[in-house]
Structure 1
Amino acid sequence: MTHDSATGFISGYDLFDHAFGQAQAVGLKEQLDCGARSFDLRLVKTSGEIHFHHGETAILNWVSSQTLSGELPGLVEWAGEHPSQFVVLVVGHCAEKGWIEYSSKPCSDEEFVKPFTAQGVAFETKCDKLRNMTLAQAMKASALRNGGHLLAIDLDCVETNWKSDVTSAEQVQPYVAETMKQMQGSGKLFQIQALMQQKFLIQRSYQLNKEVASWITDTHLLDGVNFLEINTICAYGMAISRSLGATVSSTDADSCMQICKKKCPACDKEQPRERQDAGGWLI
């Protein structure tokens, strides 16, 4: 799961928003190519349209020029081209923005649900139903007309496990261990936020993503995790995704590597060249 997924739309020329809120370096479709199978989508209604946003105050906020209705067709198309992959859109932090004020709104409101259903994407807001849903039932509920699988769900149905005091890389592993212990067997949908929490500026650590990948392959720390949330999917994202069971084709991997090399040069320098499959892609 990519954290604050739509911040990949922030322009590299927008230095303040890049420093303040950019958790991802590439757009939503590109994140799918890089292995993302769940998005953290934050929606705001402004000027009659549903956009993506970060920050919910009148002064500190970023609102995308991209609209939800404009981006969904590309995600639906990608899903149709990858019928074996199940993609979950976790919708939260919904709000309406005026000239000055921000007002929080339920993501289950029709104005936020309608853009999804208009594209044939089911939006499940019943938490009890989600908690008891089997994978087979989820695949059926998420079925698109083109054969793909996309399901939108309300963040209110997910235990986010947000801990504001996890602000350094060294604090992440103990947080993960303690939270997994609490969540395993709870019967709840839950996130593990394998990232450093934001104080004022966004915090990124490519090395941390490398460690997260090793926790999956070399330990039992993340056994049974639901939504594993990371910053900067361009750094070790494919390794993490594949280790969790997603299929990332060589074509998608190539697209991911190319766009990430352009959008996140520092990520490219961090890629684990010593761990590649026969096609040269991350394992």
Structure 2
Amino acid sequence: MSTSTTDRPPTATSILSLRNVNKNFGAVAALTDISLDVAAGEVVAIVGDNGAGKSTLVKVLSGVHRPDSGDIRFESRPVTIPNPTAALDMGIATVFQDLALCDNLNVIENLFLGRELRRGRLDEIAMETRSWELLRQLSAKIPSVRIPIASLSGGQRQTVAIARSLLGDPKVIILDEPTAALGVAQTAEVLNLVERLRDRGLGVIMISHNMADVQAVADRVIVLRLGRNNGEFTVGEVTPEEIIAAITGATENAVTLRTAKIDLRGVKTAQSTVDKEVTR
């Protein structure tokens, strides 16, 4: 089912609400009148083709870019997000696609990089204890927090990046293409992490190109097209073909036409069987 967010007032249950957010880069309109809501314990997937504005939206919410206009509310309060530190302090954590992990450092050092615990000197025991706490919250399958990041799989790296985002006890986590370039088993591992974040009561924004991943864990889907809202769908009430149609801006596209051809082929076969029975 498709609904419109643009004209809807922010709801009382929303942790994060955007209304009519705009961002231009010179003459290029990257975002135009973008609106969305994210509630506690909800996974909202943002999908769209390349150039749809997904990356710009992530950077606006994470404090990398400041919007030119529009209203952003966090826990029903109007806010501005001038920089990434302000976003973290507010309770918005972002895990970017490149993960920003240091391969030569171990899990603990990556988790606390720039936020080390000190009591005159580094408190390695406290950091190790906290590292295991974070990883257990995510039911992470990591053999040791003392091994270098370079020795971990793609899914385990994503786990470490997500665990690091939980250090500041955020209320909203943004995951930018969390399953990109992962195998089947690793993708399943990361999707399990997304569900655990939702179960902990966090609002999750997941940027993704993968419709199977979106339908597996998302509660709602927001479609961006050419920097604008182009549909909001409730998962379970929408098909992948309908979402793809909104992404492409067409009600008919290669996927839906292919499906229609298959259905038509079935109808023709059934009709041919009926005709044979009639002529006997």
TM-score calculated relative to the size of structure 2: 0.35
Higher relative contact order (CA 8 A, sep 6+): 2
Higher strand share: 2
